[in-house]
Amino acid sequence: MRVAIYSRVMDDEQRQDLQLFFDELGKQKLQPVIFQPFLEQINKTISLPGDVSVFHAAEQITSEIQAIISLGGDGTLLDTVALVRGYDVPIMGINFGRLGFLASIGRDEVQAAIKSLVNHSFVVDKRTLIHLDSNLPLFGNTPYGLNEFAIHKQDIAPMIKIYTYVNGEFLNTYWADGLIVATPTGSTGYSLSCNGPVVFPDSGSFVITPVAPHNLNVRPIVVPDDNIISFEIESRSEQVICALDSRREIVNKDVQLAVKKESFSLSLIRLSENNFLQTLRNKLTWGLDKRN
């Protein structure tokens, strides 16, 4: 069984856990295919199995790869989304970072996680992706994201006006620093920090959340994900920022933008004992009350 390994960077304090991870891969006879820049970081400090191979581009993630393992936090896992590109390769996130909401498998669960791959005893959650259409070639071959699409003013620019339409029908004009369209997965991320609601991953919806709106009566709104949401931007600055998850592009304010549900979904691996509500309570302390 071949599994791709992706990570950005590892600290010295994580070396012991990382060694345990690769030791368990060898013990379970899994063949790691390691992201080349990551391999170059660790090959002198980590003892690796003898059958290691490398990949350096998304095109090398083929049907021969049974899973992608992301070692890091949620940002690292979001990077792996761009590697999938429509291939039905599930992603397992092992949290070597801080919060680990998406990468929900802890370091202490590494052995159980790898055994679940071998025994096919894991659970796969299908997650909706958001797709960006534009009159400019934005975000290359991966114009989609797992968490959200966002429009922002530039750092020192005044607030912008974002005329927003749902299936061509006018929704609202947002006077704000920006606007977020979040997937259900992204509802617990940036949108949540801007007072957006939490929605269940399988709710079939998008959340439209303004960033620092200059109106007291403007609130986030939930819309079905079979709608097309389009935008017109008015700004005193000539440029604005478009973002898909952690990726950014600076574009002219007259850019044409629309988002919709991506034609394919993402498969996230979780251990059977973990679920969305448990993660909400454990990671975001949802409902935490000392009286309970």
The DSSP code for 291 is: T
Scan for tokens 């454990």, then name that residue.
282
Q: Which own/partner contact pairs does 167-173 have at CB distance under 8 Å and 24+ positions apart?
A: 167/227, 167/228, 168/228, 168/230, 171/208, 171/221, 171/229, 172/218
Rounded CA gap, 90 and 69, in Å? 9
Strand order in the sheet with 239-244: 221-224, 205-211, 178-182, 148-152, 239-244, 247-252
Burial classification of residue 161, based on how many CB atoms lie within 10 Å of its CB (0-12 exposed, 13-18 middle, 19 or more buried): middle
Decide if 17 is catalytic.
Answer: no
Q: Which two tokens stand for residue 233?
A: 């931007």
Task: Give Cβ neighbours of residue 268 (< 8 Å, ≥ 6 apart).
Answer: 90, 91, 92, 93, 102, 124, 125, 127
Scan for tokens 């368990």, then name that residue.
24
CA-based nearest residue to 76, from 56, 91, 54: 91
Rounded CA gap, 231 and 238, in Å? 16
Catalytic residue among 12, 17, 74, 108: 74
The DSSP code for 105 is: B
Instruction: Please list the active-site residues.
Output: 74
